[in-house]
């Protein structure tokens, strides 16, 4: 196993009984999120994206984009929210997620992302360092 890159933070993201492993990048926005961990919040769903408000206020940065992939974590300044992209959103024209507006790319998660598609109702997301 290769060493974990410096400046990155290993995380665990749990939605119900689905647990995903991931990492936050070393950008200033991602470090601010890492410093706020652990976070537990009620998730909103927008297509195959969960987003939830976090106690971080940042502007768009050099990573800002409207092009994301399944497994990406984005910070959405408009809603002070962390976004978990796991499939098409209402803005998508294909299989890739498209955020409502630009997000800062802050990391990635992996694992059983397909299991998130089956989740319904009120959900709490928990993000913690591992």
User: Three-class SS of residue 45?
Assistant: strand
Question: Can you give the pLDDT at residue 4?
Answer: 43
- Paired strand residues for 70: none
CATH topology for 9-129 is: Cyclophilin (2.40.100)
24 DSSP β-pair partners: 9, 107
CB contact set of 74 (below 8 Å; sequence gap of 6+): 68, 82, 83, 85, 99, 103, 104, 105, 106
Q: Can you give the pTM of this predicted structure?
A: 0.93
The pLDDT tens digits for 55-78 are 999 999 999 999 999 999 999 999
Residues 6+ apart with CB under 8 A from 107: 8, 11, 22, 23, 24, 25, 30, 72, 73
């Amino acid at each position: 196993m290769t060493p974990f890159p410096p400046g990155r933070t290993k995380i665990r993201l749990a939605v119900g009984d689905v647990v995903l492993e991931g990492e936050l990048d070393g950008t200033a926005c991602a470090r601010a999120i890492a410093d706020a961990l652990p976070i537990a919040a009620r998730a909103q769903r927008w297509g195959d994206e969960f987003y939830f408000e976090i106690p971080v206020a940042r502007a768009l940065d050099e990573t800002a984009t409207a092009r994301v992939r399944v497994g990406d974590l984005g910070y959405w300044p408009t809603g002070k929210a962390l976004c978990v992209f796991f499939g098409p959103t209402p803005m998508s024209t294909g299989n890739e997620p498209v955020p409502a507006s630009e997000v800062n790319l802050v990391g990635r998660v992996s694992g059983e992302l397909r299991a998130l598609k089956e989740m319904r109702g009120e959900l709490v997301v928990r993000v913690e360092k591992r």
